[in-house]
């Protein structure tokens, strides 16, 4: 099998609908030109799965029950406490590990939520300028790389979402946030261009992460229907970030050798955020209250107190606060028939306290199927009291979509929230009129949109420009890159998209 060089460029969390409108209007000329020269279209994501599990699936070709990652905070061995895991934990290697073992030269540059280096990459950088990058997760390989990058004037930086994590994005100046992200885009682009010049590579996996922070922090500046819309004479800060990402992508694409294949992945997309992840807990407190409310009541009281503290205090006390919260969570959840499992912004999770699986199981295996159906119907019947729209768009059983995941750290039910309008009151069977006490974390939240562009090597194209097949999946990306680099055309459960 012939091998080409291949580049995967990840435009993290950019919204495909905004990309397409920007390409049609001429605001994103570089991505427009790429789409005209390649195979492009929507790509199916994983139902009920957020970015923290989705990106490991992109790298491994495996669904989350196989690679073991559902969220960056997952249930621990005691079943009820939520342990903070690293952004990169995974039980399966990325597709490039096999290519590197075969002698292919692999360069990985700030790929979002990528696993740690396998030790055979030619160059590896993570936590550089990615969304919510943590210092302890910054990794550079080889050992000489930090000095090389510093000599070239390249420095890492934290994203605005870390600095502003305790205040809602509508409280900040969108122009200031956008300028910070423009600087970040330039730094990410320069890192990629520097390594492209200085490294011999067969596979380049690179991420541009500013679209992620922009979507969370600037959606209210773009969307005139969002409460607190901050549009004005200075234009749309979100679209200015998109335009800068288009230029950065164009600069990178222009430097690719002619024998390089290129895949550009944009997603998971962004839209308005109207639901806080804590909503599932609020609903269960009302629908399925614990027989003993002591620990839960104290936990909710302390949470409300926590939210009144100045942001500076919370930054200083976050470790102690998390420790106390987890102790109370364990005492609360162990006495319930079901409890919430934290997931991504647009996804809720519910887990049944099952005998034989949880330490203090409350529901028998015989009662489990009927109880699961009951909870699914209850959640599906909830409505936004002010719009009368359903509160959720889909309720999914993990055992049907991700068999075996429910036996690990995944929830038993996955809930996709309806984020079309603010959610202040909820009604439904078992509820009179529940007032939602947690506002959303920021103005933009993920959705299940994504797009992919595949451009074959310019000298020897095999797949001609056109549309991706309708059944194209995020699981197929690893296999496509593997085949382009001379590896197998199947990786995990994915199959190459080359036709």
- Count of other CB atoms within 10 angstroms of residue 251: 15
Task: Say if residue 145's pLDDT is above 90.
Answer: yes
Burial (Cβ within 10 Å: 0-12, 13-18, ≥19) of residue 197: exposed
Q: What are the extents of the domains in the chain?
A: 5-272+445-495, 279-444
The mean pLDDT value for 478-486 works out to 96
The mean pLDDT value for 437-461 works out to 87
- Please tell me the predicted confidence (pLDDT) of residue 77: 64
206 SS3 class: strand
The residue ranking higher by pLDDT, 311 or 74, is: 74
- Average pLDDT of the chain is 89
- Please tell me the predicted confidence (pLDDT) of residue 161: 79
The mean pLDDT value for 412-433 works out to 93
The mean pLDDT value for 11-38 works out to 96
Burial (Cβ within 10 Å: 0-12, 13-18, ≥19) of residue 184: buried
Give CATH for domain 5-272+445-495.
3.40.720.10
Residues 6+ apart with CB under 8 A from 440: 168, 273, 274, 275, 276, 345
Q: Could you tell me the CA-to-CA distances from 458 to 5, 43, 115, 248 in Å, in that order?
A: 11, 23, 31, 20
- β-strands 431-435, 425-428: how paired? antiparallel
Kindly give the residue spans of alpha helices, DSSP state H, lying in 334-413: 368-380, 398-401
Burial of 138-147, coded b for 16+ CB within 10 Å and e otherwise, reads ebbbeeebee
Burial of 487-498, coded b for 16+ CB within 10 Å and e otherwise, reads bebebbbbbbbb
**Which region among 91-100, 311-320, 363-372, 376-385 has the lowest average model confidence (pLDDT)?**
311-320
The residue ranking higher by pLDDT, 457 or 390, is: 390
pLDDT one-digit tens code per residue, 289-335 = 877 777 777 777 777 777 777 777 777 777 777 667 777 777 788 88
**Which region among 74-78, 130-134, 438-442 has the lowest average model confidence (pLDDT)?**
74-78
For residue 451, the cross-strand partners are 42, 266
* Beta strand ranges found along 216-300 (DSSP E): 260-267, 270-272
Task: Say if residue 235's pLDDT is above 90.
Answer: no
- Please tell me the predicted confidence (pLDDT) of residue 168: 77
- Please tell me the predicted confidence (pLDDT) of residue 327: 73
- Cα dihedral 63, 66, 67, 70, rounded to 10, equals 70
Phi, psi of 396 (to 5 degrees): -120, 140
Inter-residue contact 125 to 104 (CB < 8 Å): no
CA distance 32 to 21: 10
CA distance 73 to 53: 11
Inter-residue contact 15 to 33 (CB < 8 Å): no
- Please tell me the predicted confidence (pLDDT) of residue 63: 96
**Which region among 240-244, 296-300, 377-381, 415-419 has the lowest average model confidence (pLDDT)?**
296-300
Pick from 55, 344, 383, 324: nearest CA to 216: 344
């Amino acid at each position: 099998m012939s091998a080409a060089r291949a580049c995967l460029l990840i435009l993290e969390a950019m919204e495909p609908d905004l990309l397409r409108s920007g390409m049609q209007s001429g605001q994103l000329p570089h991505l427009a030109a790429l789409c005209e020269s390649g195979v492009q279209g929507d790509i199916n994501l994983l139902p009920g799965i957020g970015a923290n599990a989705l990106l490991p699936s992109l790298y491994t070709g495996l669904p989350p029950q196989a690679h073991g990652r559902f969220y960056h905070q997952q249930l621990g061995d005691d079943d009820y406490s939520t342990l903070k895991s690293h952004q990169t934990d995974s039980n399966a290697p990325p597709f490039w590990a096999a290519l590197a073992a075969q002698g292919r030269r692999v360069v990985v540059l700030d790929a979002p939520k990528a696993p740690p280096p396998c030790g055979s990459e030619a160059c590896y950088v993570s936590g550089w300028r990615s969304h919510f990058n943590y210092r302890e997760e910054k990794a550079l390989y080889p050992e000489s790389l930090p000095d090389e990058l510093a000599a070239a004037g390249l420095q890492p930086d934290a994203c605005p979402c870390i600095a502003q994590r305790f205040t809602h994005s509508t409280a900040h100046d969108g122009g200031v946030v956008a300028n910070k992200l423009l600087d970040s885009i330039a730094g990410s682009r320069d890192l990629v261009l520097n390594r492209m010049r200085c490294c011999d590579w067969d596979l380049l996996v690179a991420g541009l992460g500013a679209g992620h922070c922009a979507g969370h922090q600037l959606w209210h500046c773009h969307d005139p229907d969002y409460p607190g819309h901050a549009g004005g004479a200075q234009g749309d800060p979100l679209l200015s970030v998109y335009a800068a990402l288009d230029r950065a992508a164009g600069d990178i694409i222009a430097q690719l050798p002619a024998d390089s294949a290129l895949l550009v992945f944009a997603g998971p997309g962004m839209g308005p955020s109207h639901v806080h992840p804590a909503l599932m807990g609020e609903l269960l407190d009302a629908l399925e209250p614990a027989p003993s409310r002591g620990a839960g009541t104290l936990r909710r009281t302390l949470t409300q107190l926590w939210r009144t503290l100045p942001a500076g205090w919370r930054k200083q006390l976050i470790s102690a606060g998390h420790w106390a919260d987890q102790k109370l969570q364990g005492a609360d959840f162990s006495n319930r028939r079901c409890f919430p499992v934290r997931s991504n912004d647009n996804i809720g999770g519910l887990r049944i306290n099952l005998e034989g699986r949880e330490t203090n199981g409350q529901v028998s295996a015989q009662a489990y199927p009927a109880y699961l159906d009951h909870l699914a119907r209850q959640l599906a019947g909830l409505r936004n009291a002010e719009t009368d729209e359903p509160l959720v768009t889909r309720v999914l059983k993990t055992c049907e979509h991700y068999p075996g995941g429910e036996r690990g750290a995944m929830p038993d039910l996955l809930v996709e929230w309806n984020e079309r309008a603010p959610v202040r009151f909820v009604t439904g069977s078992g509820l009179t009129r529940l007032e939602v006490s947690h506002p959303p974390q920021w103005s933009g939240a993920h959705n299940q949109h994504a797009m992919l562009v595949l451009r074959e090597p310019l000298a020897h194209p095999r797949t001609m420009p056109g549309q991706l097949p309708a059944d194209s999946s995020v699981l197929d990306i690893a296999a496509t890159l593997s085949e382009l680099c001379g590896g197998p055309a199947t990786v995990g459960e994915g199959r190459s998209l080359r036709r």
